[in-house]
Amino acid sequence: MTLTVAVQMDPLAGINIAGDSTFALMLSAQARGHRLFHYSAEDLNWSDGRLWANAHPVTVQRVDGDHFRFGQPVSLDLGEQADVVLMRQDPPFDLGYITATHLLERIADRTLVVNDPASVRNAPEKVWVLDFARFMPPTLVTRSLEEAKAFLAKHGEIVVKPLHGNGGKAIFKVGRDGANLSALIEVFNQTWREPHMIQAFLPAVAKGDKRIVLVDGEVAGAINRLPGEGEIRSNLAVGGSAEKTGLTAREREICAALAPELKARGLIFVGIDVIGGEWLTEINVTSPTGIVAIEKFDGTDVAGMIWDAIEAKVGESKVGERNARLPR
**Catalytic status, residue 278:** no
Catalytic annotation present for 211? yes
pTM score: 0.91
Clarify whether 69 is annotated catalytic. Answer: no
Active site residue 154: no
Which of 88, 210, 225, 265 is the catalytic position?
Answer: 225
176 is catalytic: no
User: What is the model's pLDDT at position 317?
Assistant: 45
| Active-site residue identified among 115, 166, 224, 284 | 284
Cis bond upstream, residue 115 (ω within 30): yes
Written as one letter, the residue type at 161 is K
Predicted local confidence at residue 311, as pLDDT: 97
- DSSP secondary structure letters along 31-96: HTT-EEEEE-GGGEEEETTEEEEEEEEEEE-S-TT--EEE---EEEETTTT-SEEEE-PPPP--HH
Helix (H, G, I), strand (E, B) or coil at 5: strand
Confidence label for 165 from pLDDT (cuts 50, 70 and 90): confident
Which of 162, 159, 171 has the alpha carbon at shortest distance from 192? 162
Catalytic status, residue 233: yes
Q: Please give the full DSSP string across 141-188, using - where no structure is assigned.
A: EES-HHHHHHHHHHHSSEEEEETT--TTTT-EEE-TT-TTHHHHHHHH
Q: 5-9, 170-174, 304-308, 324-328: lowest mean pLDDT where?
A: 324-328
Catalytic residue among 35, 121, 126, 322: 126
pLDDT at 228 over 80: no
